[in-house]
Amino acid sequence: MDVQRFSKTLGLLVVLHSAALAKDDDGWFMKAPTEVRAIDGYPVVLPCSFTHPHHTHPSSMHVVWTLGHGRAATVLFRCTSLNNSQQCQSKINQDQRYRLEGNHRNHDISLRINSVTLKDSGRYFCRVELTGHSHTSFENTLGTRLRVEAAPRILSLSAEGSETSGFKAVCHVQGSPLPDVQWIAPDGVLEGDTSFSLSQEAIGQYRTSSQLLDVKPGGQYICAASNSLGKDQATLYVLPPSPERLTAKSSFSLLVLLLALALGTKLLLALGVGAWVIKRRLSSVNQ
């Protein structure tokens, strides 16, 4: 699938699954989808609408969107509408990727996120707070799961090891759904070892790594990654030892050999001279 053509055709991708309805005994009612899917790099809208039991429209209200729920929640967007204003004003330091897409005066507090990334995947919660009423706030307690998808991208491809311990090729890949990784050599497909050794759970959902053992100097190896949105590949050339390095290594070995011979010769001469001196002294004593 051509991701760019697909995304440009849709412009703004919103794929909704069954909607979650939340209401309580006081007459509050909130509607939001259980899941929304988006393509990496493009905008997405998280729908959320509400009704409340009050006969008159509240003059002031707050709209809040969080990533996560409870004490661990991160407030991503917050705006305030005062004195029946049609505008819902956010703070100056508000991240500009987030903005209110719906009209809060029409009970629509949908959130738009521009240029979503894989890191934006998670569960989002919308909340409305009314002032001047006993029941001041209501939240979609089930939340909406945002699933950001992306074609595979090879983050790095390198060779590790030494001539003595041997070499291995390591390929780090990113994508959602999590890509399949395959190793290819000039003589065919090779068997690699795919691992999920990344410590961060969120990153582990869209990043993986694979290694290929017994890589030979002078060889050429391709790391190919694919998922339902596309594929990517990179080529690794493992250079053989250079002639200069081999010459230097041979020269070093020859130098070590010559030094050893020189030291051995000096040692033999020293022993010979010592034996001759001792023999002369013994001869003098006997005379």
Domain boundaries, the chain: 29-142, 151-238
Average pLDDT, integer, range 148-174: 90
pLDDT at 90 over 60: yes
Residues 287, 285: Cα–Cα separation, whole Å: 5
The percentage of residues in the chain with a pLDDT greater than 70, rounded to a whole number, is 67
pLDDT at res. 163:
76
Q: How many C-beta atoms surround the C-beta of residue 77 within 10 A?
A: 24
H helices then E strands: how many in the chain? 3, 21
Average pLDDT, integer, range 9-26: 50
Buried b (16+ CB within 10 A) or exposed e, 100-132: bbbebeebebbbbbeebebebbbbbbbbbbbee
CA 91 from chain centre, in angstroms, equals 30
- Do 29-142 and 151-238 come out as alike in CATH topology? yes
pTM of the model: 0.71
Under the banding of pLDDT at 50, 70 and 90, the label for residue 16 is: very low
Under the banding of pLDDT at 50, 70 and 90, the label for residue 190 is: confident
As a whole number of Å, the CA-based R_g of the chain is 36
Residues 153, 175: Cα–Cα separation, whole Å: 6
Strand partners, 225: 181, 232
Strand partners, 35: 145
pLDDT at res. 184:
93
Nearest to 2 by CA among 39, 43, 45: 39
pLDDT at res. 129:
86
Strand partners, 111: 46, 100
Token pair of 101 as six digits: 């897409």
pLDDT at 130 over 50: yes
Q: Which amino acid is at 17?
A: H
Residues 68, 248: Cα–Cα separation, whole Å: 61
Report, at the CATH architecture level, how domain 151-238 is classified.
Answer: Sandwich (2.60)
| Residue 29 and residue 135 in contact, taking contact as beta carbons nearer than 8 Å | no
Average pLDDT, integer, range 243-254: 51
Task: Determine how β-strand 122-130 pairs with β-strand 61-67.
Answer: antiparallel
Query: Which one of 3.40.50.261, 3.40.50.720, 3.40.640.10, 2.60.40.10 gives the CATH number of domain 29-142?
Result: 2.60.40.10
